[in-house]
Amino acid sequence: MCAMKKETFSIIIVPHDLKKTRTVRVPYPLLYVCVALLSLGFVALVVFVATYGRLLVRAREAGRLEQQVAELTRRQEAISEITRNMSRVRAMDLQIRGMLGVEIPPADSLEAGSAVPPESEIDREIEDQKEQILRALPTFWPVRGYITKGFHIAGGEDDPQYHPGIDIGVDRGTPVRAAAPGYVIEEGWDDTYGFYAMLDHGYGIKTLYGHNDRLVVMKGERVGRGQTIAYAGNTGQSTATHLHFAVIRDGIHVDPLEYLLQ
């Protein structure tokens, strides 16, 4: 309940227990100031809420845009990775053909680093065969050590420097492992290579392992890549413990370093 005078605004406070009432007199100028302050506060609150609402909307939009950008970036990286993989397949194809001695047309060499047709256009049967050929290549080092003598056949067998393979110096008893999966087609003693083994990997590729201390495979046995087939030694015409490793392609000795992966 309120009462008004000419110069003041009175506020009468009536307690619930009906005790004596209290009257608070507020001058009109102070009342106007309070009303003005409350109005300004309300306007400021409305402006703040409206501004904060717009900021929230913009923040949500920015979040959605960031997610879209991240998704586009991820897709672009995936496409780039697919392109690189297909280019590597193309380069691998040329490398395999080179290892097998197949002549590579200049046009194919120029396309080695270019884009490859979509997978749907690739003959899967040919690709499977390429994978089999790749697995048959002797790329696994039979032992790890220093190359004490390199490959040299330029002068023929009459050349004193003739050496149809590489010699890798290792300690006696070092496991000698198959450079690729294949079948043991020869094993035993040779006056030159001592205890030796020869593997046939298919596709016209064979490997020879000589000067071993002992063999642990038999003729006709199938071995896997990296499987131990012998232990290094110093047998045959040898002056120090080492492994003589040779690669024969279509009956011709080729440099093993063209196959072994670093």
Buried b (16+ CB within 10 A) or exposed e, 106-122: eeeeeeeeeebeeeeee
How many residues does this entry show for the chain?
A: 262
Domains of the chain: 1-136 (no CATH), 146-258 (2.70.70.10)
Residue identified by tokens 């001695």 is 101
| Residue 126 pLDDT level (bands cut at 50, 70, 90) | low
pLDDT value at residue 134: 80
Mean pLDDT score, 99-120: 55
Rounded percentage of the chain residues whose pLDDT exceeds 90? 42
Give the pTM. 0.56
pLDDT value at residue 173: 96
Q: What is the mean pLDDT of the chain?
A: 79
Tell me the pLDDT tens digit for each residue of 8-38.
666 666 666 656 776 667 676 766 677 777 7
| Residue 105 pLDDT level (bands cut at 50, 70, 90) | low
Choose the weakest-confidence range: 115-129, 130-144, 145-159: 115-129
pLDDT value at residue 179: 95
